[in-house]
């Protein structure tokens, strides 16, 4: 007991080798003031940023609905004698490539030779000028083209129907036979005249290195890039809480969403929305296409996707419909049924 | 007053930390979080003796008897037991629905009038959204039935006042309401399997009070059967065992451990997800070894070359370095250049379109009751076989106790028409460390091939008196004869008519996985392997045999080959297959018996 007292006492009376007390007090005060000043500046900036974001949100809230409503059909089918309405056929029945078919029984079919020369085409989207953007995908076998071929976007001119390469996309890793897929999903955003494109190039069993690109159509510039997410179908929709990109996960039957800022950039990380398999009548499907209809309905085309090649015949496709409930700012499941049934 | 060093660290950490956070928020390239499938224990119960296991479950037999009784009726539909109808005053609706022509339209197969099994699965007041959808006003009762053959749900809406059917809706592929009876049956089936009991740490099928059991609908996407999932959770545990039950064939399909059900982010097991999980983990990522009947072989499912047998030993001696089937070339002569180069392989992350759903099947080969070897079969299917333009192939290997072995391919249809030609491309690498001489039977004698070469088994091809076409001799005088299939192997096959190529073994010529070797539709020797023998090099003793048999399908009654027909079996959909088999036998010899 006594020794402890002595030790304590010694400690108090001998502050040897320390800096002067005034200096020790001054340093944290100065640093504290600097920090406070910096924090205040930062807080101001953040307040401004939040204000801007709130205003942007308000603007967006006024326009709940799909982001590709301005997209229109190309002119060239009518020039070629087709009578609207017509649809873009990418089912690959009777050969590869794209066809434009009049939407009536016995309707005329338009297929330019060059449209089938690029191979099987998968996703597509239209822009406000009627330009078609599409991408080749592997189908049945890799005999004619290696996996590296499939990470590019093709463009079909709205006036002439001429198909030309638009741009190639950078893969996170070299594509291999284990995953021959590149570009698999595409959607248009009227607000920025831009497209979102998903690519699975380089993803493997244990490495999810898929990318989602946000591309300016006027400049072909990649504006934003989301890393490490394998997405199939894509769709942009403005909800009450802001504009979102919806992503169909290629590795599970789940749908995710990610917030978009005014410039179309990604904010935060993809958030889980719902699972197709968990819906009444749902299957272990992957969301292959996500489209938004006029009355705020999300239409998802679900297929079996396992990073393997597609079989020759028509795969089983299931349609899932969800309604946007603005009051709850949430999607509610309506029904699931096989396509065409 | 003393200020310790950690205080400064704290200040700088705050400064740097905040700065760093600020930086990252302006970064465009982001790392997203997404679910990674954690390793979970799962297995398929494909080759267990279901009949034996389920013979211990009286409810299964009772249900089968009930089905047999229903199928004898003119209106083959199993009504919903009265006790399952709630409220009871809706009982009248069942009788009305069962009299309605449109509701009962799927009770017989139109072509043969064979009875199809139907079951009433639900009777209840129609929900507001259902009434909205059919656009018929009124106080409506819904009667739901399930057709096992078409895998279709039909719903009759009955007006409670007029007691008439006002609307019938058909929903193909939809899962019906699971009746209490089916839920109880699902649980009894699931718990009868010793494999399931072992997973749960039980010794009988009785579930102790410390476990919770939930039965819910699941999907059998590939078989298109009615399926349920029995989910068993030990109280307090974060994991549940999902057991998938096929209620069309009345058997368990397999099981998988999953995280406990979370309403916020449900994760489910279906037939497709379970098959992909088990096959990928156990057969695509791992090599398996079999030792039996004097053989030791290794095998693994490949990306696109089917299942590969490699490093096969007979009596401890290396015999086969590798054998695999790299492509099926399918052509339809009535349509120029129309066909496919089909690759078989793993169900996920592969360049195959015809994939493995089930594990390989290993069966003893018997002769007069005596086991003389074993067969090894790996099945591959297009997702919705046997619909048009879907294919089903098999790798077949046979290993005999006397040292013979066979490398074969099986075709089970259906393809795109009844005029299809199939040309599977085999790559066979016999063990030949010391060098091997290749001889072909030509004009009544063995003729040594000095250079790379090919040969076609024409209709008038000559074989050695024993039926052999090639002889591969090792330096020690032992070796193997290649005996083409001329229908002599007891499998009703119609011969190989094969192109055989002998090439010098080179790196990059097929020892690794080959996504696709050749085009679909060539009818001559240009099937792909010809590229490895042009220009012809001198044979060095290290050889690869490429073997491309040819077979044509047929749907002609009594002559079906490489074909499949849909049948009604116990009121549900079944298939009658007519296999086409090709592939040579390798027969060993030593200097003594050469």
- Does B577 reach chain A within 8 Å, measured CB to CB? no
**b or e along B111-148 (b: 16 or more beta carbons within 10 Å of the residue's beta carbon)?**
eeeebbbbbbbbbebbeeebbeebeeeeebbbbbbbbb
Mean pLDDT computed over every residue of chain A: 86
Q: Would you place residue B26 in the very low, low, confident or very high pLDDT band (cuts 50, 70, 90)?
A: very low
Fold match flag (B179-264 vs B287-589): no
For residue B513, the chain A residues in CB contact (below 8 A) are 177
Query: Which positions in chain A touch B416 (Cβ < 8 Å)?
Result: 312
B22, A42: Cβ pair inside 8 Å?
Answer: yes
CA distance B175 to A281: 5
Task: Write out the two tokens for B143.
Answer: 């009667």
pLDDT tens digits for A263-311?
999 999 999 999 999 998 888 899 999 999 989 999 999 998 999 887 6
| pLDDT one-digit tens code per residue, B437-480 | 999 999 999 999 999 999 999 988 889 999 999 999 999 999 99
Inter-chain touch B276–A306, beta carbons under 8 Å? yes
Contacts of B102 (CB under 8 A, 6+ apart): B156, B165, B168
List the 173-202 stretch of B: residues with Cβ below 8 A of A. Answer: 173-175
* B2 to A18: CB separation less than 8 angstroms, yes or no: yes
> What are the start-end ranges of the H helices in chain A?
2-13, 21-61, 76-79, 113-117
Cα B77–chain centre separation: 31
Three-state secondary-structure class, residue B532: helix
pTM over 0.90: no
pLDDT of amino acid B594: 57
Closest chain A residue by Cα to residue B390: A313
Confidence of residue A312 (pLDDT cuts 50, 70, 90): low
Asked if A148 reaches chain B (Cβ–Cβ under 8 Å), the answer is no
Could you count the other beta carbons within 10 Å of the beta carbon of residue B81?
11
What is the per-residue pLDDT across A204-236, written as a single tens digit (0 to 9) for each? 988 999 999 999 999 999 999 999 999 999 999
Interface membership of A333 toward B (CB under 8 Å)? no
**CB-based contact B244:B193 (threshold 8 Å):** no
Model ipTM over 0.85 = no
Q: Which whole-number Å values give the CA distances from A311 to A138, A168, A285, B13, B578, in the listed order? A: 11, 26, 16, 56, 22
Q: What per-residue confidence (pLDDT) applies to A25?
A: 74
Q: pLDDT tens digits for A109-131?
A: 898 888 888 888 999 999 999 99
Cα-Cα-Cα-Cα dihedral sign, residues B37, B38, B39, B42: negative
Taking the alpha carbons of B431, B437, B441, B446 in that order, is the dihedral positive or negative? negative
Question: What is the structure's pLDDT at B365?
Answer: 97
Residue of chain B nearest A46, judged by CA positions: B22
CA distance B421 to B524: 12
Q: How many CB atoms lie within 10 A of CB A9?
A: 10
Q: Give the residue from A34, A312, A339 with the most B CB atoms within 10 Å of its CB, the best one to mutate.
A: A312
Number of A–B residue contacts, CB under 8 Å: 200
At the top level of CATH, which class does the domain B287-589 belong to?
Answer: mainly beta
For each of the domains in chain A, give its residue range(s) and CATH number, in order of start.
Answer: 65-338 (2.120.10.30)
**pLDDT value for B368:** 94
Contact A277 B285 (CB under 8 A): no
- Listed by number, the residues of chain B in 4-63 with a beta carbon closer than 8 Å to a beta carbon of chain A are 7-8, 11, 14-15, 18, 22, 28-37
How much is the pLDDT for A56? Answer: 59
Other beta carbons within 10 angstroms of residue B36's beta carbon come to 8
Indicate yes or no: CB of B383 within 8 angstroms of CB of A269: no
Confidence of residue B10 (pLDDT cuts 50, 70, 90): very low
Mean pLDDT of chain B: 90
Residue with tokens 């007006």: B159
Residues 188-227 (A) with a CB less than 8 A from some CB of B: 204-205, 208, 223-227
What confidence score (pLDDT) does residue B306 get?
Answer: 97
CATH of B179-264, one of 3.10.450, 3.30.870, 1.10.10, 3.40.50: 3.10.450
Q: Does the pLDDT of residue B27 top 50, yes or no?
A: no
Query: So where are chain B's domains?
Result: 81-172, 179-264, 287-589
The minimal CB distance from B513 to the residues A177, A277, A308 is found for A177
Looking at the DSSP bridge assignments, the partners of residue B422 are B330, B551
Give tens-digit pLDDT for B352-405. Answer: 889 999 999 999 999 999 999 999 999 999 988 998 889 999 999 999 999 999
Task: For residue A24, give the nearest of B1, B11, B173 by CB distance.
Answer: B1
Inter-chain residue contact B7 with A28, CB threshold 8 Å: yes
B272, A15: Cβ pair inside 8 Å? Answer: no
For B327, the closest chain A residue by CA position comes to A141
CATH architecture, domain defined by B81-172: Roll (3.10)
Give the range among A139-143, B212-216, B334-338 with minimum mean pLDDT. A139-143
* Residue B118, SS3 per DSSP: strand
Residue in A104, A147, A315 with CA at minimum distance from that of residue B221: A315
Helix residue spans in B120-192 (DSSP H): 128-134, 180-192
- The mean pLDDT of A21-48, rounded to a whole number, is 76
In whole angstroms, give the CA distance from residue B415 to residue B381.
11
Closest CA to B488 of B553, B582, B401: B582
What confidence tier does A17 reach under pLDDT thresholds 50, 70, 90? low
- Number of neighbours of residue B522 by Cβ within 10 angstroms: 16
**Which residue of chain A has the CA closest to B19?**
A42
pLDDT for position B575: 96
pLDDT classification of B568: cutoffs 50, 70, 90: very high
For B270, name the nearest residue in chain A, comparing CA atoms only. A284
């Amino acid at each position: 007991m006594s020794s402890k007292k002595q030790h304590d006492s010694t400690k108090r009376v001998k502050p040897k080798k320390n800096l002067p007390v005034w200096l020790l007090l001054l340093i944290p005060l100065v640093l504290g003031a600097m920090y406070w000043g910096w924090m205040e500046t930062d807080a101001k900036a953040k307040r401004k940023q939040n204000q801007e974001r709130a205003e942007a949100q308000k603007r967006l809230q006024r326009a709940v609905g799909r982001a590709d409503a301005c997209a229109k059909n190309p002119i060239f089918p009518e020039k070629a004698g087709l009578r609207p309405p017509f649809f873009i056929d990418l089912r690959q029945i009777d050969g590869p490539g794209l066809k434009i078919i009049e939407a009536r029984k016995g309707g005329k079919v338009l297929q330019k030779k060059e449209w089938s020369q690029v191979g099987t085409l998968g996703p597509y989207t239209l822009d406000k000028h009627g330009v078609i953007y599409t991408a080749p995908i592997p189908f049945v076998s890799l005999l004619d083209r290696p996996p590296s071929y499939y990470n590019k976007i093709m463009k079909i001119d709205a006036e002439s129907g001429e198909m030309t390469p638009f741009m190639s996309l950078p893969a996170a890793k070299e594509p291999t036979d284990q995953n021959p897929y590149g570009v698999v999903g595409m959607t248009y955003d009227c607000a920025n005249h831009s497209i979102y494109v998903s690519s699975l190039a380089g993803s493997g069993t244990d490495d999810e290195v898929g990318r989602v690109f946000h591309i300016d159509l006027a400049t072909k510039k990649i504006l934003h890039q989301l890393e490490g997410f394998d997405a199939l179908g894509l769709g942009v929709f403005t909800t009450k809480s802001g504009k979102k990109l919806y992503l169909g996960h290629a590795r599970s039957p789940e749908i995710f969403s990610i917030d978009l800022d005014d410039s179309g950039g990604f904010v935060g990380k993809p958030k889980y929305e719902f699972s197709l398999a968990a819906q009444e009548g749902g299957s272990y499907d992957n969301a292959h296409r996500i489209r938004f209809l006029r009355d705020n309905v999300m239409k998802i085309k679900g297929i079996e996707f396992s990073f393997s090649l597609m079989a020759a015949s028509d795969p089983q496709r299931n349609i899932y419909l969800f309604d946007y409930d603005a009051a709850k700012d949430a999607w509610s499941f309506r029904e699931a049924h096989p396509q065409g049934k | 007053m003393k200020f310790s060093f950690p205080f400064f660290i704290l200040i700088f950490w705050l400064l740097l930390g905040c700065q760093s956070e600020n930086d990252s928020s302006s970064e465009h390239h982001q790392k997203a979080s997404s679910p990674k499938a954690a390793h979970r224990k799962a297995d398929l119960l494909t080759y267990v003796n279901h009949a034996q296991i389920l013979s211990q479950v009286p409810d299964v037999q009772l249900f089968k008897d009930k089905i047999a009784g229903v199928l004898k009726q003119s209106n083959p539909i199993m009504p919903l037991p009265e006790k399952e109808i709630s409220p009871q005053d809706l009982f009248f609706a069942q009788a009305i629905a069962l009299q309605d022509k449109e509701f009962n339209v799927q009770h017989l197969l139109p072509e043969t009038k064979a009875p199809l099994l139907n079951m009433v699965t639900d009777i209840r007041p129609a929900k507001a959204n259902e009434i909205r959808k059919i656009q018929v006003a009124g106080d409506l009762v819904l009667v739901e039935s399930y057709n096992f053959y078409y895998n279709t749900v039909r719903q009759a809406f009955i007006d409670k006042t007029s007691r008439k059917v006002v609307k019938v809706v058909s929903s193909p592929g939809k899962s019906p309401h699971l009746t209490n009876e089916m839920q109880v049956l699902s649980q009894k089936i699931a718990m009868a399997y010793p494999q399931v009991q072992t997973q749960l740490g039980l010794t009988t099928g009785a579930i102790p009070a410390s476990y919770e059991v939930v039965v819910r609908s699941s999907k059998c996407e590939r078989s298109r059967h009615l399926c349920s999932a029995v989910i068993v959770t030990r109280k307090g545990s974060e994991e549940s065992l999902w057991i998938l039950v096929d209620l069309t064939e009345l058997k368990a399909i397999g099981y998988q451990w999953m995280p406990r059900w979370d309403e916020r982010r449900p994760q489910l097991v279906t037939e497709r997800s379970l098959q992909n999980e088990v096959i990928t983990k156990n057969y695509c990522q791992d090599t398996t070894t079999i030792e039996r009947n004097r053989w030791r072989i290794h095998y693994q499912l490949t990306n696109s070359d089917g299942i590969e047998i490699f490093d096969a030993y007979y009596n401890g001696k290396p015999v086969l370095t590798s054998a695999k089937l790299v492509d099926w070339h399918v052509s339809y002569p009535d349509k120029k250049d129309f066909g496919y180069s089909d690759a078989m392989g793993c169900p996920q992350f592969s360049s195959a379109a015809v994939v493995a759903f089930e594990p390989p099947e290993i069966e003893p080969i018997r002769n007069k009751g005596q086991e003389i070897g074993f067969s090894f079969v790996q099945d591959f299917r297009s997702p919705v076989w046997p619909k048009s333009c879907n294919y089903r192939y098999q790798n077949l290997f046979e290993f005999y106790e006397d040292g013979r072995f066979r490398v074969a391919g099986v075709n089970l249809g259906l393809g795109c028409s009844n005029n299809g030609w199939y040309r599977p491309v085999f790559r066979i690498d016999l063990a030949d460390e010391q060098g091997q001489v290749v001889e072909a039977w030509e004009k009544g004698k063995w003729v040594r091939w000095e250079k790379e070469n090919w040969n076609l088994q024409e209709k008038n091809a000559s074989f050695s008196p024993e039926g052999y076409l090639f002889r591969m001799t090792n330096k020690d005088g032992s070796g193997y004869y290649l005996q083409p299939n001329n229908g002599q192997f007891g499998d009703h096959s119609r011969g190989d008519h094969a192109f055989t190529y002998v090439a010098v073994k080179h790196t990059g010529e097929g020892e690794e996985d080959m996504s696709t070797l050749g085009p679909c539709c060539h009818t001559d020797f240009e099937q792909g392997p010809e590229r490895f023998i042009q220009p012809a090099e001198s044979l060095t003793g290290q050889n690869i045999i490429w073997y491309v048999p040819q077979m044509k399908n047929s749907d002609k009654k009594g002559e079906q080959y490489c074909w499949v027909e849909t049948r009604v079996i116990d009121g549900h959909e079944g298939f009658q297959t007519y296999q086409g088999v090709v592939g040579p036998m390798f027969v060993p010899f030593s200097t003594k018996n050469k």
